[in-house]
Chains A and B, each alone.
Chain A
Amino acid sequence: MAGILLDATIYLVAAVILVPICTRFGLGSVLGYLIAGVLIGPILGLVGQETQDLQHIAEFGVVMMLFLIGLELEPRALWDMRMRLLGLGGLQVGLTAALIGAACMAMGLQWSVSIAIGLTFALSSTAIVMQSLAEKKLDKTEGGRASFSILLFQDIAVIPMLALLPLLALPMVMGTGLEADIAHGADAAHGAADAAHGADASHGPSLNLTEGMPGWAYGLTVLAAVGVVVGGGMYLTRPLFRFIARSGLREMFTATALFIVIGIALLMTLVGLSPALGTFLAGVVLANSEYRHELEADIEPFKGLLLGLFFITVGAGIDFEVLTADWMLIGGLVAALIGAKAAVLMVLAFVFKLRGRNRWLMALSLAQAGEFGFVLISFNVQNNVIPADLVPVLSLVVALSMLITPLLFILYERVFHNKFAEGDDDREADEIDQRGTTIIAGHGRFGQIVHRVLAASGYEIVVLEHRSEFVDNMTKFGVKTFYGDATRPDLLHAAGLHNAKQFVAAIDDKEQITELVKHVRRERPDIHIVARAIDRHHVYQLYAAGANDIIRETFDSAVRAARSALEGLGEHPFEAEKAVRFFVKHDRETLVKLAAAWREGESVWDNPEYLAIARSQTDLMEQTMRNDRETARDNAMDRAWMPPDKRPEEEVDED
């Protein structure tokens, strides 16, 4: 027990110290984790071989990440990117594998070994790239999207690779009894599952249902599993979440979210598909769900920690002995790998008409080998495709190329991002426009109106509501509302508070509105906040909390009722309108005066200054409004339309 606690402490301390430092210096969190890993692993020797086991667990962070990426991607958006996915992704994998394979053959390796290494190195690191892109807000740029297409294709391509690589088994090491039970197609499929979800190889066979199935049955099983994910996502999650929401227990949501991700990963493993791909698919299916932001908020911390752990293990796994023994060779290989991958990407970026800095972003971001590289290396060795003596060098090249990736991102940011800014400015402006989102917290009688007006005007809105029955009813009306408690910081973040343009606090509870406004103002000093005030005193609190526009929830309707009442007494409708306009203006002035006298926590009845202002303002208003009626002179309401000869003598001129 103490051993586990000690290990956990070492990992956490290293991360807690180095990640903030690296972010502080603009190097990004990924580099921080990697350096932390290098520090506690090869340099200080605080952690040892267990990092390899830990890495398998930590790879689950990639599964969660793809789930989250899926949540951000609606099915239509996925369909729209099919050309890039297949064209760009397919060419990247094919060309890179061919180029690296050819280089390996030139260095004297056997052709089958060369192909295996080429395929292994063709893959990039989804974890590092997507994390860095999101962190640097490059994920919505053209280059970022193109990179994502390639990464998604690679994740899909791993499955056939795992199926086909065993066919390249080396004849001279065959039959040595090393792994005699492997090298069939079905086993390859189980390997795929293994590889991607990182389970220990020994669990594999017992968990794979498709083992020994004929091809057609395997195909049907796979289709059924995908059907379960898509169908379940579409039809089962809603009742499930509604049921959970009724319990009112926050942790039940977290448990449900974890259950969904882990359950799908298990299902995919059972049928020999990639869990990352399965959860990605589930994410896409749920992208339209009203529970999407709640899911994001629940999974996000797990994903973050697991990915962080994964990066640490990559850093910790760097073998300094191998490196120092032959640093020239290793260094050369890493440089050649990055150079070759970047060159292929540059050519593809040109062919696929990416312009300016987007071309550089794609080329630099995907130039490393990835986490699947580790998996494929050990898989290749198990299947006698690659001789075991190559493993330390290959693994080190993968790890070092990943370690260098954050530096390439920094290179991109410092050099190419601004240098090529003009090339794609039109496009980026559009994208920023789209992000001009308004978050409406609370979808009751108040928030609904705000929502309907903004939505009808064509603005993008995220609505958060914590009563699931409201969410359901609104969905029936075709109104897009997300389930979730808007007072939770993580949910606000998932809903996009960090880049929203405006925030509307429309929930019912007075205290919660104030807290919400304070929180949003702290997080985003620049955002425009419209706040619902319950009463006059609440206005003062919200003003202090930093709201821009403070709207009393019943004031306007009461004013309209007063106007109707004036009309009911036979007043000319425009006279009634002018009367309430004057009243509203006067009331606003009064409010500003009273706000200055108001003290937080003190009853206004004990505040003589406040009471005096209130009294004198009331007198002033009555005087003005009556004065207008009786003497028709020097009034505040009709100044412009006063006939000249009704003014005081000195103002009358000849007309």
Chain B
Amino acid sequence: MSLIEDNTAPRRVLILAAHPAPRRSFAGRAMRKAAREVEGVTFADLYAEYPRGDINADAEQARLEAHDAIIFLHPFFWYSTPAILKEWQDIVLEHGWAYGHDGNALSGKLFFSALTAGGPEEAYQPEGYNHFPVRTLLSPLEQTADLCGMVYLPPFAFFSAGHAHEDNRINEHVAEWKGLLMALRDHTLDIETARALPRLDGQLKPLTGEK
């Protein structure tokens, strides 16, 4: 509870969503819809804003400067993001702005990735066929955030996305997702504890001190 600061303004949360085939996205679609409903959250669909990939660096940088927490919302393609999010990093995170000499525009902002994976949770461990935990696989993003002086949080993951509707799983996940966004906004999330976790999903209650 150490990070709850009563007299600070709500955190401004930016979600950069990317799915190249939104019609084929099931779990992701529910998460995008939920994100749009949370007050105080800015939602951006990168493939809709840049269907031809011509990312506007100035506009993106201004948008980042106007927010305190940045979240990538995307399917887990080849242990990474869809192509447009890589392009976004290449174009927007400029030297002298995001990193390097005088590059501190993102310093202190929160960053994490909310992803939907096709494989089951068990696959992402040394014995599983994906061999590595999701956080390890995302280490390029973690290091990118670190170089930019951002506070990196572990991924908020959803597994077996193709079976999202079984056992009410997706509804539970979406509910936690909304709660997470609100906790970020309202400074009720224990950031210091969260930073050390392997994943954020399933951790909302302990991190907000709820029973």
In the bound complex, residues from chain B placing their C-beta under 8 Å from that of A641 are 19-21, 24
- Give chain A residues whose Cβ lies under 8 Å from the Cβ of B101: none
27 contacts between A and B (CB under 8 A): A572-B22, A572-B45, A572-B47, A572-B48, A573-B47, A573-B49, A574-B20, A574-B47, A574-B51, A575-B23, A576-B51, A577-B52, A638-B23, A638-B24, A641-B21, A642-B21, A642-B24, A643-B24, A643-B26, A643-B161, A644-B118, A644-B162, A645-B118, A645-B162, A645-B163, A646-B24, A655-B123
From known contacts A577-B51, A643-B162, infer whether A572 and B23 are also in contact, taking CB-CB under 8 Å.
yes
| A residues near B119, Cβ cutoff 8 Å | 655
Is A632 an interface residue when CB atoms closer than 8 A count as contact? Answer: yes
Flag if B22 contacts A575 (CB, 8 Å).
yes
Among B20, B49, B118, chain A packs the most CB atoms within 10 A around the CB of B20
Q: CB-CB < 8 A to A645: which residues of B?
A: 118, 162-163
Residues facing B in A619-655 (CB within 8 A) are: 632, 638, 640-646, 654-655
Q: Which residues of A contact B118 (CB under 8 A)?
A: 643-645, 655
Do A632 and B24 have beta carbons less than 8 Å apart? yes
B24/A573 in contact, CB under 8 A? no
Which positions 98-147 of chain B face chain A at CB distance < 8 Å? 118-119, 123, 129
Q: Which residues of B contact A640 (CB under 8 A)?
A: 20
Residues of A within 8 A of B129 (CB): 654-655
Residues of B within 8 A of A577 (CB): 51-52
Alpha-carbon distance between A572 and B46 when the two chains are bound, in angstroms = 11
Q: Which residue of A lies closest to B117 (CB)?
A: A655
| Bound-complex Cα distance A573 to B52 (A) | 9
CA distance A450 to B47 in the complex (A): 29
Q: Which residues of chain B have C-beta atoms less than 8 A from A575's C-beta?
A: 21-23
Q: How far is the CB of B128 from chain A (nearest CB, A)?
A: 10
Select the residue from B48, B49, B118 with max chain A CB neighbours within 10 A: B48
- With an 8 Å Cβ cutoff, the count of chain B residues facing the other chain is 20
Point out the residues of chain B lying under 8 angstroms from A642, CB to CB.
Answer: 21, 24
Chain A residues within 8 Å of B161, by CB:
643
Residues 567-594 of A contacting B (Cβ, < 8 Å): 572-577
Main secondary structure on A side of the interface with B: helix
Q: Which residues of B contact A646 (CB under 8 A)?
A: 24, 162
Q: Which residues of A contact B24 (CB under 8 A)?
A: 632, 638, 641-643, 646
Give the residues in chain A near B52, CB-CB below 8 Å.
577
Chain B residues 129-175 with CB under 8 Å of chain A are 129, 161-163
Chain A residues near B20: list those with CB within 8 A.
574, 640-641
Within the assembled complex, what's the spacing in Å between the Cα atoms of A232 and B23?
A: 69
Which residues on A sit within 8 Å (CB–CB) of B19?
A: 641
A644, closest chain B residue (CB): B118
Q: Nearest chain A CB to B32's CB is how many angstroms away? A: 11
User: Nearest 9 pairs between A and B by C-beta?
Assistant: A641-B21, A574-B47, A577-B51, A573-B51, A645-B162, A574-B51, A655-B119, A573-B48, A638-B21
Alpha-carbon distance between A625 and B159 when the two chains are bound, in angstroms: 31
CB distance from B56 to the nearest CB of A (A): 14
Interface string of B10-53 (1 = CB under 8 A from A): 00000000011111101000000000000000000101110110
**Complex: chain A residue closest to B48, CB-CB:** A573
> A358: shortest Cβ distance to chain B, in Å?
45
- The CA-CA distance from A640 to B51 in the complex, in Å, is 17
A577-B52, A641-B19, A642-B21 known, 11 other contacts, Cβ within 8 Å: A572-B45, A572-B48, A573-B51, A574-B51, A638-B23, A638-B24, A642-B24, A643-B161, A646-B24, A655-B119, A655-B129
Taking each of A577, A642, A646, which has the highest tally of chain B beta carbons within 10 Å of its own beta carbon?
A: A577
A638 to B52, CA, bound (A): 16
Bound Cα distance A131, B23 (Å): 70
Find the A residue at minimum CB distance from B22: A572
Which of B19, B21, B48, B129 has the most CB atoms of chain A within a 10 A radius of its CB?
Answer: B21
CA distance A182 to B207 in the complex (A): 114
Q: How many residues of A contact B (CB 8 A)?
A: 17
Report how far A574 CA is from B52 CA in the complex, Å.
8
Q: Which residues of B contact A574 (CB under 8 A)?
A: 20, 22, 47-48, 51
Q: Residue on A with the closest CB to B163?
A: A645
Instruction: Give the CA-CA distance A643 to B19 in the complex, in Å.
Output: 12
Q: In the bound complex, what is the Cα–Cα distance between A654 and B123 (angstroms)?
A: 10
Find chain B residues with CB under 8 A from A655 CB.
Answer: 118-119, 123, 129
Most chain B beta-carbon contacts within 10 A, residue among A575, A641, A654: A641
- Scan B59-76; emit 1 where CB is below 8 A from any A CB, else 0: 000000000000000000
Q: Which residues of B contact A654 (CB under 8 A)?
A: 129
- Which residue among B19, B45, B51, B161 has the maximum number of chain A CB atoms within 10 Å of its CB? B51
Whole-angstrom distance between the alpha carbons of A286 and B160 in the complex? Answer: 75
With a cutoff of 8 Å between Cβ atoms, the chain A residues found around residue B49 in the complex are 573
Alpha-carbon distance A136/B163, docked complex (angstroms): 76
The smallest beta-carbon distance between A496 and chain B, in angstroms, is 35
Neighbouring A residues of B48 by C-beta, 8 Å: 572-574
CB closest residue in chain B, given A628: B23
Which residue of chain A has its CB nearest to the CB of B21? Answer: A641
Q: How close is B35's CB to chain A, nearest CB, in angstroms?
A: 16
CB distance from B147 to the nearest CB of A (A): 29
| CB-nearest residue of chain B to A653 | B129
Contacts of A644 in B (CB 8 A): 118, 162
Residue of B nearest to A652 (CB): B162
User: Measured between C-beta atoms, what is the minimum distance from B185 to chain A in Å?
Assistant: 27
Query: Complex formed: what's the CA distance from A640 to B83 in Å?
Result: 12
Q: Specify which chain B residues have a CB less than 8 angstroms from the CB of A632 in the assembled complex.
A: 23-24
Q: Return chain B residues, CB-CB under 8 Å to A638.
A: 21, 23-24
- Smallest CB-CB separation from A637: which chain B residue? B21
Write the chain A residue with the least CB distance to B161.
A643
Which residues of A have CB within 8 Å of B23? Answer: 572, 575, 632, 638
Bound Cα distance from A645 to B163, whole angstroms:
9
Question: What CA separation (Å) do A645 and B45 show in the bound complex?
Answer: 25
Q: Report how far A575 CA is from B47 CA in the complex, Å.
A: 9
Task: Determine the residue in chain A with the shortest Cβ distance to B49.
Answer: A573
Q: Which residue of A lies closest to B119 (CB)?
A: A655
| Least CB distance, B115 to chain A, in whole angstroms | 14
Within 8 A of B (CB), among A546-578: 572-577
Distance between Cα atoms of A573 and B23 in the complex (Å):
12
A571 to B38, alpha carbons, bound, how many Å? 24
**From residue B59, how far is it (CB to closest CB) to chain A in Å?**
16
Distance between B116 CB and nearest chain A CB, rounded to angstroms: 10
Q: Which residues of chain B are within 8 angstroms of A643 by Cβ–Cβ distance?
A: 24, 26, 118, 161-162
Query: Which residues in A have their C-beta under 8 angstroms from that of B163?
Result: 645
A638–B24 Cα gap in the complex (Å)?
Answer: 9
For residue A560, give the distance in angstroms from its CB to the closest CB of chain B.
11
- Chain A, residues 591-626, CB within 8 Å of chain B (1/0): the string is 000000000000000000000000000000000000
Nearest Cβ on chain B to A334's Cβ, whole angstroms: 70
Residue of A nearest to B26 (CB): A643
Contacts of A573 in B (CB 8 A): 47-49, 51
How many angstroms between the C-alpha atoms of A572 and B26 in the bound complex?
15
Q: Which residues of A contact B26 (CB under 8 A)?
A: 643
CA distance in complex: A640, B24 (Å): 11
In angstroms, how far is the closest chain B Cβ from the Cβ of A150? 53
Complex Cα distance, B49 from A655, in Å, reads 31
* CA–CA, A554 and B52, complex, Å: 20
For the complex, give the distance between the alpha carbons of A654 and B163 in Å: 13
Shortest CB distance A561–B (Å): 15
- Minimal Cβ-Cβ distance residue in A for B46: A574
CA distance A644 to B26 in the complex (A): 13
